[in-house]
Amino acid sequence: MFSYRHAYHAGNHADVLKHTALIAIIQYMIQKEVGISVVDTHAGAGIYRLDSDAAELSKEADEGLRLLLKNAGEKKVELGELLGEYVQELERFNPSGALKVYPGSPMIAQDYLRRHDKLKIFELHPTDSRVLEKHVEQLRAGRQINCYKEDGFEGLKKLLPPPTRRGLVLIDPSYEMKSDYARVVNCIQDSLRRFVTGTYMVWYPVIARPEAHDLPKRLRALAQEVHKPWLHTTLRVKSGQMGSQLGVLGTNKGPKRPGLSASGLFIINPPHTLEPQLKGCLPQMVELMGQDALAGFTLEASK
Ligand code: SAM
């Protein structure tokens, strides 16, 4: 426990997929005047330096965001609307023009929220929770944000349903422990009982372990049980490294391990606009971050 640090992974292809979808969902939800609550059950440290020792060691951003930007420039690819918005958001965090920092999910979410929206974020890691709190303090957002150094799966229970009955829950565990897969399923089941109309976005690594393989199936069954729409997407940038969880969850210990090659998002109650938006940007993600012939995406949604 606690060997996972998102600093090693910030800006990788999985972040590109997850944060692009996050922006799309929040942008849709804030079109209505009524306030929303965003809950991030596994928030990370909030902001990551891309020139830190961790980032330099893993070089995961080189196979994610940096590769996307490099190829877009070299191939003179005009980014579609959603991917373009994601890149502009990163530029807002890097006003000097050089790509120095990568904003994590709580910072991206907060940047889109209006004054009357709420952000509730959980982080358990002793160091990352302190760093997160500091970043949150600097936002001077007052009571808009609540930071909890608690277990996000458990803490979520007290926040559902949100007062306005409009909310997004991002569940983005490190899957450092195998039990995280079952906890995600139990958490979604419990959350749907409390707040069936909420939007839930679960990230997971596409790796060759039965729990990861079964997770989207189990989430789909839960959505179907309560007759709610769902969307499932995966992005693969390269072949290989299917067998080992260690390759996915590179830590600060040991030699550099090959990075994750694919990841997925399962979303319950997605905005109806999300599927066409992802259809528009997934091919570009593959074109710009794909490394070999196995690069590709899947996208399926309830009818
Ligand atoms: N959501 C972040 C983003 O997109 O920028 C990345 C989060 S990272 C994948 C997962 C984080 O969850 C890690 O920082 C880890 O310390 C934290 N964590 C692990 N177990 C947790 C738990 N039970 N409750 C809250 N945080 C947890």
User: How confident is the model over 213-229, as pLDDT tens digits?
Assistant: 999 999 999 999 999 99
Q: 5 CA distance to ligand 1 centroid (A)?
A: 8
- Provide the pLDDT for residue 256: 52
In angstroms, the CA 286 to CA 299 distance is: 13
Identify the residue whose C-alpha is closest to ligand 1 atom 17: 42
- Which residues, judged by CB distance below 6 Å to any ligand atom, belong to the binding site of ligand 1? 4, 6, 18, 40, 42-44, 104-105, 122-125, 128, 151-153, 172-174
C-alpha dihedral (181, 194, 278, 182), degrees to nearest 10: 10
Q: Which of 259, 213, 256, 263 is nearest to 240 (CA)?
A: 259
165: region left, alpha or beta (phi > 0 left; psi from -120 to 50 alpha) = left
Q: 129 CA distance to ligand 1 centroid (A)?
A: 9
- Provide the pLDDT for residue 243: 40
- Provide the pLDDT for residue 240: 77
Catalytic residue among 128, 172, 190, 214: 172
SS (H, E, C) 9-29: CCCCHHHHHHHHHHHHHHHHH
Is 172 catalytic? The answer is yes
Q: 40 CA distance to ligand 1 centroid (A)?
A: 9
Half-sphere exposure of 106 (CA within 13 A, CB side): 33
Contact 23, 112 (CB under 8 A): yes
Average pLDDT of the residues of the chain: 94
- Provide the pLDDT for residue 3: 86
Q: Is the pLDDT of residue 252 over 70?
A: no
Question: What's the pLDDT tens digit per position in 95-116?
Answer: 999 999 999 999 999 999 999 9
- Tokens linked to 248: 């996915």
Whether a cis peptide bond, with omega within 30° of 0, leads into 161 is yes
Identify the residue whose C-alpha is closest to ligand 1 atom 23: 151
Average pLDDT over residues 154-163: 98
Residue holding tokens 């500091």?
Answer: 134
Average pLDDT over residues 256-271: 89
Helix (H, G, I), strand (E, B) or coil at 262: strand
- Tokens linked to 279: 């259809």
Identify the residue whose C-alpha is closest to ligand 1 atom 4: 105
Average pLDDT over residues 27-49: 98
DSSP run (H or E) holding 148? strand 145-148
Closest atom of ligand 1 to CA, residue 106? 5
Could you give all domains of the chain from N- to C-terminal order, each with its CATH number?
6-301 (3.40.50.150)
Identify the residue whose C-alpha is closest to ligand 1 atom 12: 42
Q: Is the pLDDT of residue 257 over 60?
A: no
